[in-house]
Amino acid sequence: MIGAFRPWPSTGVEPSGSGAPGSGRPLASPPLSPTRFYPPARHSYVTRFLPWVCLLALSAGASAGTDVTSILRGVEERYNRARTLEVHFEQTYEAPQRAPKTESGELFLRKPGRMRWRYSQPPGKLFIGDGKYVYLYTPANNRVERTKMKESEDMRAPLAFLLGKLDFERDFKRFGSRPGDGGTWVAAEPASAKVPFTKVEFLVGPSFEIRQLIVAEDGGSTMQFRFDQEKLNPVLAESLFRFEPPPGAQVVEAAE
């Protein structure tokens, strides 16, 4: 799967209280940004979280019956060799006492650490990482929040690491697998107690592509991602990963 804000489906309003696709149910909760919009302190969560999410996603790849080690190696080989990636996503956030909320759009990734989440639902929403900062733009209130990538807690930020160097044995423990619809589900727990999630599950297809990702957080909330139409190494313009504030948009630092 950023300190002050987190990419979750967004509603244009900051959620009060605590608070990903795979479930197939519509999301209805705080603004999502890759896709939920949270208070500034949440952004660092996503940035730190993305690497972990990507690592776990890579672990769920092969068909049922294949051992976990082979699955992990297959996923790592697929994504570590890629320089760019384009995929359609659907993101759903669920939290206790809240209705699920779903958002969708196109995700573009480029090494090293650049990403663009372009939403078609809600239209106009953007979540961009240029390798140094992450920007969350919510058109409903014409507002931009900027956070340093290293401080981001948004669950979308970690997904940029799908194009990075993965080491499952180093970053995860207690792996498990089970048959899934069209692939194999792989589950794992983080090796570090400092990350903002407690468990990750990935559905990996026959070619070791990541089809679904579920991230469980403390407090019972989950972020689910569903991916399809994946393209490896497409030609992506550098301008996709540069953010220009829309006319009249309010730009604030996540910590404000």
The rounded distance, in Å, linking the Cα atoms of 77 and 238 is 25
Total structural domains in the chain? 1
pLDDT of amino acid 157: 57
The rounded distance, in Å, linking the Cα atoms of 227 and 89 is 5
Q: Give domain status of residue 5, yes or no.
A: no
Q: Is the pLDDT of residue 243 over 70?
A: yes
Q: Give domain status of residue 31, yes or no.
A: no
Number of H helices, E strands in the chain: 3, 12
Q: Give domain status of residue 28, yes or no.
A: no
The rounded distance, in Å, linking the Cα atoms of 49 and 35 is 13
Q: Give domain status of residue 103, yes or no.
A: yes
DSSP-derived secondary structure letter, 70: H
Least confident of 58-72, 74-88, 91-105, 140-154: 58-72
Q: Which pTM value belongs to this model?
A: 0.71
pLDDT in tens, 210-221: 999 998 888 889
User: Domain range holding 81?
Assistant: 40-253
pLDDT of amino acid 161: 60
The rounded distance, in Å, linking the Cα atoms of 138 and 27 is 17
Q: Is the pLDDT of residue 164 over 80?
A: no
pLDDT in tens, 50-86: 444 444 443 333 333 358 889 988 988 898 889 999 9
In angstroms, how far is CA 36 from the centroid of its own chain?
10
We report the CATH number of the domain holding residue 87 as 2.50.20.10
Instruction: Specify which residues 114 forms β-bridges with.
Output: 110, 130
Q: Give domain status of residue 15, yes or no.
A: no
Interval 181-202 mean pLDDT: 87
Q: Give domain status of residue 228, yes or no.
A: yes
